[in-house]
Amino acid sequence: MFQRLQLADGMGIFTLIAFVTALSIYVTIFIRALRMRRPQIERLAQLPFADESVARHHDAN
């Protein structure tokens, strides 16, 4: 099936560029997560629950 597929010369460079771009994004996110300080981790860990507690407080009134 792929024997008939003919790619132009230099088409592999686009695949390489896409891979390097994606890899650099994931590595950057990983390094930033490792360098995060403890107070910021704790604050971000509570984010999903912050809106819920505010909503409960307003419903109780």
Query: Which residues fall within 8 angstroms of residue 36, CB to CB, at 6 or more apart?
Result: 44
Rounded Cα gap, residues 50 and 46, in angstroms: 6
Query: Which of 5-9, 16-20, 42-46: highest mean pLDDT?
Result: 16-20
**What whole-number distance in Å separates Cα of residue 4 and Cα of residue 58?**
65
User: What three-state secondary structure class fits 37?
Assistant: coil
Q: Is the pTM of this model over 0.95?
A: no
Handedness of CA 40, 42, 46, 50 (dihedral sign): negative
Helices 47-60 and 38-45 pack at an angle, to 10 degrees, of: 50
- How does pLDDT run across 41-54, given as a tens digit for each residue? 998 888 877 665 55
